[in-house]
Amino acid sequence: MKMANPDEKILSFNDVVLRRSDLDILSGPHFLNDRIIEFYLSYLSTVHPSPAILLVPPSVSFWISNCPDTESLKEFLEPLKLPDRNLVIFPVNDNTHVGLAEGGTHWSSLVFYRGANTFFHHDSNRGSNKQFARQLYKVVAPFLSGEDAMFREFSAETPQQSNGYDCGIFVLAVARIICQWFETAGTKNRDELWLSDVKEIVPGLVTHLREEVLVLITRFMAEKETR
């Protein structure tokens, strides 16, 4: 019996290419890789297509945080139209090896909300990524809102993971809830932010989101085959 090739391309979604090994990651208790996170954020961008929202791919977040040349970074960021965005969500990774792809052992979320001129860090592991989130904040803040944007650590207000591998799932869940909050915030008091929604909805969402993403991918694969 021929073994499945783990590097086989199974789906192209927007600019994201998924491989068969990604299905294995979603099928078991495994740390999410860049591709899966990028896929789901790209999917959320189609669900919430507002030009005011930007969901940044993990590779782009990592490059912003570690780019050694300010001028190159300025040119790199121009297509993202950061000054026009009201909500920007960055995945944060603790990879310290710039030349190592798919590095790191933990994910968290850095969220910029222009209405508060603040970057909020959500970390499902007691703020262990705080230094990496601050590094990204210091680099990108001048391009988003100038030097006066604040940084707030929201890990104490973020539901916490109970294992060593679901941090990426928490990043996806937090992104989904915040995007939903942003679209409906016109009927609420925006000063309350999204904290109550994250606290109330994320714990239940993460219990089935891994399976939900897997089902989503397989559905897109089936739709592609019928075309």
Query: Is 30 a residue of the active site?
Result: no
**CB proximity list for 40: less than 8 A, separation 6 or greater:** 172, 175, 213, 216
Catalytic-labelled residue, pool 106, 122, 166, 179: 106
Query: Is 48 a residue of the active site?
Result: no
**CB proximity list for 19: less than 8 A, separation 6 or greater:** 6, 7, 8, 9, 10, 35
Cβ–Cβ under 8 Å, residues 48 and 88 = no
At how many degrees (to 10) do helices 20-27 and 195-226 cross? 140
Token pair in block for residue 110: 């850095």
Catalytic-labelled residue, pool 22, 123, 166, 197: 123
Query: Is 34 a residue of the active site?
Result: no
Q: What is the 3-state secondary structure (H, E, C) of 164-187?
A: CCCHHHHHHHHHHHHHHHHHHHHH
Catalytic-labelled residue, pool 48, 167, 179, 197: 167
Query: What positions carry a catalytic annotation?
Result: 106, 123, 167
